Each structure stands twice: as structure tokens, then as C-alpha cells.
Structure 1
Amino acid sequence: MFGTSGIRGPVGEEVTAALALSVGRAVASDGYDRVVVGRDVRESGAVLIDALTAGLRECGADVLEAGVAATPTIARTVSRTNADAGIVVTASHNPAPDNGIKLWDASGKAFDPEQLEAIAMRIDGDEYDPQAWDGQGSSESLADATDRHAAALRESVSLQESPSVVVDIGNGTGGITARVLSELGCDVTTLNGQQDGSFPGRPSEPTRETLAELSALVAATDADLGVAHDGDADRMQAVDETGTFVPKDVLLALFAREAASDGDAVAAPVGTSMAVDDALAAVGASVTRTRVGDGFVADRTTRPDVVFGGEPSGAWIWPTETPCPDGPLAACKLVELVADRGPLSALVERVETYPIRRTSLEVADKTAVMDRVDDRVRKRYDDVDALDGVYVDLDDGWFLVRASGTEPLVRVTAEARDESRAERLEAAAVDVLEQAIEAASDAGRQSDHDGGREADTITPDRP
């Protein structure tokens, strides 16, 4: 039910008012007595919030309604109001037909897998605790949630100069970024600033491809940089003063190096570029790798030596500020960095990058294939990590074979310090994957025929 980022799917099919009602009932029945709720700009969110709130109150929880607001605004509000949990109705960067539900604990961090499992079990078992007429929860409006978030953002940065910034709000809830940067003295131009859950300006997810208009506008003006958010503003990506998209791993390296010092660690998922390791090594810090998903990165930032967490998708976490990915905070931090050290293009050039290659193959049974990938890789290589997929660390590069969480695909990523080595590592990983796919297919056919056992062979290593 809950993926790495909560519940998401098409409205009316996977995501319904009945599901939202069940989530509300389950959260309240599991002992969360005071719950902050809010939503992004999708029109379907109004119905889902009504159902969610009804479920919470029916089972005795008091509800604090933050209204339409950025996800990090709502997550911050949980701890500020001493609530037990927070729930955001959002599909984040997914397209307009989708919606979803994401849960936050009392600290403002995403629910961990155990907490999510407890909620899912209640829903599966229809195990709720509805209250009598005099035991149902109350409802209270929180009119100041965004104002309080904005105040915290203003306090988090100090600008000696006031750069010119283009903010691509993406028709979502990220208008707080433009507001705060203006209040800090920046010359701010907004793009796609009207809230509209159909996302008419561009697709909700900010990528190199979807930010073409932002890139063109920055390049055609005297702006010092451009920043962009997804629909619920938990993500942030950027373009430099020439309109060039800042590579995602490079942006992670810039944030990480600025946050860390000698002996510190930065949390980042498997598959993160060696550019981040090298940037941190220069200041005596290191990377601690996690499973893919901002919730896993957030969990790692609770360790005392971890000063920053980032996922190249655009989720950036400063744990002393908030355990939630905060796109507006990231935008303010980047503007501060440019004001102090800019221009952004020069900062990007100082981060050494390496050839990285990606491909994917369609598979029928991801679990069976990945089991065979793990077995083959361990027979070939010494330094293997199965934290999330199968990750092989070599002296001059690495590769990762990982099943998609949403599609019938297994993805291969390989990086090395020169192009030819990256190609060879990719070829070696694809070779392992193709053998695993064939073996899984043969085993399935053999099992269908007579229950026999596959013959498993290993071809020579070709990295």
C-alpha cells in the first residue's frame, strides 16, 4: 500500500475517498490523537481531505487543518504544534490525474516502514476504533502555517548581496519561495505562479527537460540563477545564470560540501555519483549511503555525525532545520551560496564529474531476477552491497542493478572515472542481468513443465 513516498496513484482507481477515510481511521485508531492535515493544489485533494478528516475525527483524533500548503510547511507544523502526526494529501511530482497520501511523525519526519506497516495492517484488517458521539475529535484551522514557515526560512539564511532570481513555482505550492526571497531583498521573477492542479505550465516534476522555459528566461535576462519546485514544493532543482541546468549530483555535491566539515557524514542513496564522495573528501567528510527514497535519507540524518541528506531527485534535508525535504529552504540556501560564492556556473565547474551510464531491461518477475543477479554478482566481485538492489564498488568505478519500484523494469547504472571504463562496467552489469533474466525464465518454464530445477552457469567476467 505504502511505497517509498507514501500512497500514490490515479484518483478514482487506486486513490479514492474510501481509501482516505480508511487512512484517517487507521491513524487515529493507532494512537495518534492530534494530527495536522493539509494538501497540495490538486482539486481532487479537497474531497480526499474531507474523507481523511472524517476518518480521523470519527476515531477520536483532533485535527489541525493547514489547508493548501507546501508539504514542508505542513511537516514543520507537526512539531511546532506538538501534534502526534501529520498527513499531506499530495502526489508530489506525479502528473495531474494522480493524488496520494503521505504521513509524518511527531518530529516532522516521514513515517518509517514499521509505522507504515502498522497503519496498513489496520486498513487490511478493518481494525478501527470509532468513538461515540461525545468522543469524536475536534477540528481547528491553522491560518499561520505558511507564515511560520516563511519566518523560519528568513532566519535560516543571511544575504550580504541580493541576487536576481527566477522562481518557477510549477503551478504548485512553492510560492513561499518567491515570497521569502523578495522579503530578503532579492529581485524575484516568478514563472508558472498561478496555483493550478492540472499543471498547465509544465509537468510537475522539475527536470532538465521540463525546465526549458525557466532556462530560456534566465538566459535571456540578467538573473543570477533560476530555481524550480514540484507540485508540493518538497523538491528543488536549479539552473545557473547562463540558463544551464545544474546536474542533480552536482547540486547534491554543492550542498553537501557547504554543510559538512572534517569528520562529518552526508546521507545519500545508493547510485549517487562519485562526484559527491570526492567533493566531501576534499573537506574531510564522507558519504553514508541509504536505500533510495527521501524517507530513508531522512532516517539516516538522525545520526549525530550526519549533517545533511540529499537525493539527486531534488530532495534536500538539513536535519538541524527540519527532517522533511524542504524545497523552499533549499532554494534559499542556494541563493545564499551564490550571493557568497557565485556565480553558480563557476561553482558547478569546480565539481569534478565522471561518465555515468544508465539503461534498463523489462522483466516479468523482478524478485526472481534480482535474486539471481545477487547470486551471480557475489560470485564475481568482493565488494557487494545489497542494501537496495545490488551495488558493486570497484576502485575506479561502480555499478548498481536495481528493480524499479513502480514499473516492470530492472535498471542498471554504472559510473567510472573515464568513459571506456564506464562502458565496460555497464556491459558487465547488463551481462549479469541478461543471464539472470534468462535463468529466471528457464526456471519458470521448467517449473511449469515438470517442477525441475534450472541449470545455472556463470560466464567469464568482462568488466
Structure 2
Amino acid sequence: MFGTSGIRGPVGETVTADLALSVGRALGVDSDRVVVGRDPRESGELLVDALAAGLRESGTDVVELGAAATPTVARAVAWADADAGVAVTASHNPAPDNGLKLWQPSGQAFDDPMQVEITERIESGETDLAAWDGLGTRERGDYRQRHVEALVESVDIENPPSVVVDIGNGAGGIVVDALQELGCHVETLNAQPDGAFPGRPSEPTAENCRSLATLVGEGDAELGIAHDGDGDRMRAATGDGEFVSGDVLLAILARAAADPGQRIAAPVDTSMAVDDYLGENDVTVTRTRVGDVYVAERVTDADVAFGGEPSGAWIWPEATLCPDGPLAAVKLVALAAKRPLADRVADVNTYPIRRDSVEVTDKAAVMERIADRVEADFEDVTTLDGVRVGLEDGWFLLRASGTQPLVRITAEAREAERAAALFERASEILEDER
């Protein structure tokens, strides 16, 4: 039921009002108060109603935020003295999808054991429904301004730059309020919330954010910021119009967050360029499974100062354990105010990296066969998430998708020819074992 980032899928198929009702009843078994918010998708309104009904008939009080960024929902769990939070969102997925992501008071998403418990309750029909006079209440909550204040307090910008923000028709508009309060001149793209995402696809990739990169490159702005549909991701463009790769952005944010001797957390598919760049400052990378919940688990270690995923999820543990796109935006703008983003990007040496996905009929069985073969053929093998082979001059990873019948291939080396060879080797292994 749960993928790498909550429950997601097509509305009316995977994600239905019946499912939302069941999640509400399951969560209501041991929750007295739950915060609920949604992204701009129209289907979110009925899903929130069904979710709230399941919670209330379990005797659980609901604090409804309405349309709100996912990090606002996650932070509001603690602010509202609640037991849990639910963001009704499919995040960066396309408009036909929706989903539910569950949050703990720490700001961390529900971890594997908690997800298993909710799934088992739904599958077994376990509930704890209240009597007619014990139903939960449904009240309106508004934590937008409190989130804005937290963002403003997180940075100090002496010479505020001009910024273009592409909100992607999503819920991340609070970043505009925060940047303006910090003194930045802000120009917006796709600022009107619309769950059909008419301005661009929700995921903030280089291809989807070409308008942002062009506007920044040809105008006077010093950098550009892009969010996804629910505002948990953040990507960026330099003042000369270069859309920054996720690995490079991870390296820059991590270098600023970590002191020498500390660690940062990043998933197994992160470029070794991040290791090399951070190693110059005696900062090391600890690898996690793919998914912000796993990065969040690792950043609770005392010596881990920051966590991030190249997809655009960034976590500062002293602030919250949820990926907070607007927080990442103000942090990056503060860095750019001190030194241009383009100059910081130029400091990070990048290497050739190849990626692809191959459809398979039984990804679990395929990955089991791949693991057996690779462990017999190579010395440096990790199976934390998929099968990753480390070599002196590069690495490759074979990993099953968390939501689709795919096995993903990633290969990287310091030389293009070697990266191509490693990618070919990984592809051959997959082809033999699929």
C-alpha cells in the first residue's frame, strides 16, 4: 500500500474515498488529534472529507488546514499538539494521481513499522469507532503565517537578491511571502494554485522548468527557485540560466550545513561527486535507502547535520524532519546573497552518469537473482536498497522501483567511457536475470 513516499496512485483506481475513509479509521485507533491538509488537486477535497469522516467516527479530532504545503502540514502536527498529520497529495506526480502521506509530531513521515501497522489495520478491518456522543470534532487551523515566520527566522540575508519563483501551480506559495519579508524582489511563475498543473508538469525537472531557466538567464534575477505540487521539493537555476542538477545542489546545501568531521545523509543513487566535494571539507556521506523517510531517520544521528535527495528533498534536522521546499529555498537564497549560485556550482566537479529503467514482470524475484549473482562476482557490494557495486573508479546500482514494475539502472564513473562500460555491464546483468 505504501510506496517510498506514502500512498499514491490514480484517483478512482488506487486512491479512492473508500481508501481515505479506511486510513482515517486506522489512524484513529490510537490518535486523539490529527492535522489534515491538501495540495490544490480537486480530488483532494473529497479525499479530505472521507479521511476526516474516518477519523471523527473514531473519536479523533481533526484540525483541517485546507490547501497547504506538505511541509506546513508536517510542521503543524507539533504546533497543533496533534498525534499525527496527513497530507492529501501526490506531490510531484501528474494531475490524475493523488495520495496520502502520514506524518509524526517530529516532522518525520511514518516509518516502515508505522506504515505496516496502518496497512494491517486496514486489511484486517481493525477499528475503534466511537459512540454517537463521542465523535471527534472538525475545526479549521491556519499555520501558514507561523511557517512563514519560521522560514524568515532560519536565515539572515544582508543583501537580498532578486529571485524568480516557479510555484508550479502548487501549494508552495508561502516561499514568496517569506522571501519578500526577507527583502528579496520576487517575480513568480505559475503562481495560481491549480491541481491540473496547466503551467508545467508538477515535477520540477530541468525539462519542465525551461521557462524558469530562460526567464532567469535573460532577466535581472540572480537565481530561480522551483517547487513541485505540494511544496516539499525545491530545485534551482543560476543567474545565467543553468538549471542546477540535483546532485550539485545537494553538494552545495550539504557543504553549507555540515562542519568538518560531521556527516550528511543521502540515498544510494547519489553521485560520488557529492562525496568528493564534501570530502574537501572533511565531511562524509552516509548512504540511505531512497525516500525522504529513510533520509530523515538517518539525520536523527547526532553527527549527521543534513540530509537530502537529488530529486529535490532537503532536510535540516534542527528545523524539522520533513523535506521543506520553502526552507530549502530561503537557505539557498541566503547562500546566493553571499556568493553567486553560479560560482558555487562551478566549484563542484561532476562526472558522467547514466540512468535508465527497464520493465520487468516480477521485480522482487529479479532483484533476488541479481543480488545472488552480483555478490558472487564483485567484492564491494551493498544491498541496502537494491544492489550497489562500488569500484575504484565508479559504481553501478540496480534497484527496483518502489511504485512501478521497473528496475532502475544507474552507473557513474570519472570518465565517460568507463561510465558507459559500467552501465553496459549492469544492463547485461539485468537482461540475464529478468
State the distance in 2 between where 1:244 and 1:38 align.
34
State the distance in 1 between where 2:358 and 2:129 align.
47
State the distance in 2 between where 1:176 and 1:257 align.
26
Note the C-alpha offset of 1:370. Answer: 1.1
User: Could you list the per-position Cα deviations for residues 406-448 of structure 1 after superposition, in whole angstroms to 9, with x for gaps in the alignment?
Assistant: 33221211111111111121122122222212xxxxxxxxxxx
* Aligned: 1:2 with 2:41: no
Equivalent position of 1:290 in the other structure: 288
Q: Which amino acid aligns with 2:269?
A: G
* Aligned: 1:98 with 2:97: yes
Question: What is the SS of the residue equivalent to 1:411?
Answer: strand
Match for residue 149 of structure 2 among 129, 148, 151: 151
Q: In the TM superposition, what are the counterparts of 1:19-58 in structure 2 within 5 Å?
A: 19-29=19-29, 31-58=30-57
Q: Which amino acid aligns with 2:82?
A: A
Match for residue 369 of structure 1 among 349, 362, 366: 366
User: Could you list the per-position Cα deviations for residues 241-273 of structure 1 after superposition, in whole angstroms to 9, with x for gaps in the alignment?
Assistant: 011100110000000111111211101000100
TM-score, normalization by structure 2: 0.99
Equivalent position of 1:65 in the other structure: 64
Note the C-alpha offset of 1:335. Answer: 0.2
State the distance in 1 between where 2:150 and 2:406 align.
41
Question: What is the SS of the residue equivalent to 1:310?
Answer: strand
Q: In the TM superposition, what are the counterparts of 1:150-229 in structure 2 within 5 Å?
A: 150-229=148-227
Match for residue 409 of structure 2 among 409, 412, 437: 412
Match for residue 424 of structure 1 among 404, 416, 421: 421
State the distance in 1 between where 2:194 and 2:363 align.
37
Note the C-alpha offset of 1:207. Answer: 0.2
Note the C-alpha offset of 1:87. Answer: 0.6
State the distance in 1 between where 2:422 and 2:8 align.
34
Which deviates the most, 399-408 or 303-312? Answer: 399-408
Q: Which amino acid aligns with 1:321?
A: A
Equivalent position of 1:329 in the other structure: 327
State the distance in 2 between where 1:302 and 1:232 align.
24
User: Could you list the per-position Cα deviations for residues 214-233 of structure 1 after superposition, in whole angstroms to 9, with x for gaps in the alignment?
Assistant: 11111121100000000000
State the distance in 1 between where 2:84 and 2:364 align.
33
Q: Work out whether residues 307 and 315 of structure 2, in 8 Å CA contact, stay in contact via their aligned partners in 1.
A: yes
Note the C-alpha offset of 1:348. Answer: 0.3
Note the C-alpha offset of 1:199. Answer: 0.6
Equivalent position of 2:77 in the other structure: 78
Q: Work out whether residues 263 and 284 of structure 2, in 8 Å CA contact, stay in contact via their aligned partners in 1.
A: yes
Question: What is the SS of the residue equivalent to 1:367?
Answer: helix
State the distance in 1 between where 2:258 and 2:279 align.
10
State the distance in 1 between where 2:279 and 2:304 align.
15
Equivalent position of 1:401 in the other structure: 398
Q: Which amino acid aligns with 2:28?
A: A
Q: Work out whether residues 34 and 77 of structure 2, in 8 Å CA contact, stay in contact via their aligned partners in 1.
A: yes
Equivalent position of 1:139 in the other structure: 138
State the distance in 2 between where 1:220 and 1:421 align.
37
Note the C-alpha offset of 1:376. Answer: 1.1
Runs of 4+ in 1 over 4 A off after TM superposition: none
Equivalent position of 1:264 in the other structure: 262
Question: What is the SS of the residue equivalent to 1:277?
Answer: helix
Q: Work out whether residues 4 and 403 of structure 2, in 8 Å CA contact, stay in contact via their aligned partners in 1.
A: no
Question: What is the SS of the residue equivalent to 2:49?
Answer: helix
Q: Work out whether residues 222 and 239 of structure 2, in 8 Å CA contact, stay in contact via their aligned partners in 1.
A: yes
Q: Which amino acid aligns with 1:259?
A: A
State the distance in 2 between where 1:217 and 1:39 align.
30
* Aligned: 1:124 with 2:123: yes
Q: Work out whether residues 108 and 322 of structure 2, in 8 Å CA contact, stay in contact via their aligned partners in 1.
A: yes
RMSD over aligned CA atoms reads 0.9
State the distance in 2 between where 1:406 and 1:77 align.
28
Question: What is the SS of the residue equivalent to 2:28?
Answer: helix
Note the C-alpha offset of 1:359. Answer: 2.5
User: Could you list the per-position Cα deviations for residues 6-43 of structure 1 after superposition, in whole angstroms to 9, with x for gaps in the alignment?
Assistant: 111111111111111110011011x1111111111111
Residue-pair matches, total: 434
User: Could you list the per-position Cα deviations for residues 165-212 of structure 1 after superposition, in whole angstroms to 9, with x for gaps in the alignment?
Assistant: 000011111111111101111010010011111111000010000001
Equivalent position of 1:386 in the other structure: 383
Match for residue 252 of structure 2 among 240, 251, 254: 254
- Identity %, equivalent residues: 63
* Aligned: 1:113 with 2:82: no
State the distance in 2 between where 1:392 and 1:71 align.
35
Structure 1 unpaired stretches of 5+: 438-463
